Amino acid sequence: MTRALRTALLATAVLALGTAPAAFADELYQWKDANGVTHYSQTPPAQGKYQARSIQHRAQAIDAGTPEAAAPVESTQCTTARKNIELLQSGSRLQMDSDGDGKADRDLSDNEREKQLQIAQTVARVNCSSATAKTP
């Protein structure tokens, strides 16, 4: 996975954590590895310290007479999550920076790809309204 994609996924997850209280919530886990890299996952690490984080979603009411009702606007987080989902489902080769030097040095494994896809789908569920949501 490229550093830009990894950064975008992490930034999206972090931004999603800051959403307002809501109708439903998903749980993510955050921890730092031995190299100081922060990770987010839907499952806690096998060992070590971690923090449980809740992603909460709230629906916004829009007056049917307003221009917003006619053309729903998609949030940046929603757009990013959709692009990440599309990329992760594309089957194309993705690389990641595993040693923290800023350069991609290995391919993303199928398991890592699936975990990142789950995170991106959670972020999309939280940040994409039903009016702008597309089922990937």
pTM equals 0.45
User: For all residues of the chain together, what is the average pLDDT?
Assistant: 75
Reported as a single tens digit per residue, the pLDDT across 26-75 is 778 888 888 888 888 888 888 888 888 777 666 665 555 555 555 567 78
Tell me which H or E stretch contains 32.
strand 24-32
94 located within any domain: yes
Residues of the domain holding 84: 3-127
135 located within any domain: no
If one counts the domains in the chain, the total is 1
Q: And the tokens for 59?
A: 């629906």
103 located within any domain: yes
136 located within any domain: no
Q: What is the pLDDT of residue 21?
A: 40
Give the span between the Cα atoms of 39 and 41, in whole angstroms. 7
133 located within any domain: no
32 located within any domain: yes
Give the span between the Cα atoms of 50 and 86, in whole angstroms. 29
DSSP state of 21: P
CA distances from 4 to 7, 86, 95, 109 (A): 5, 15, 10, 17
121 located within any domain: yes
Q: What is the largest CA-CA distance in the chain?
A: 54
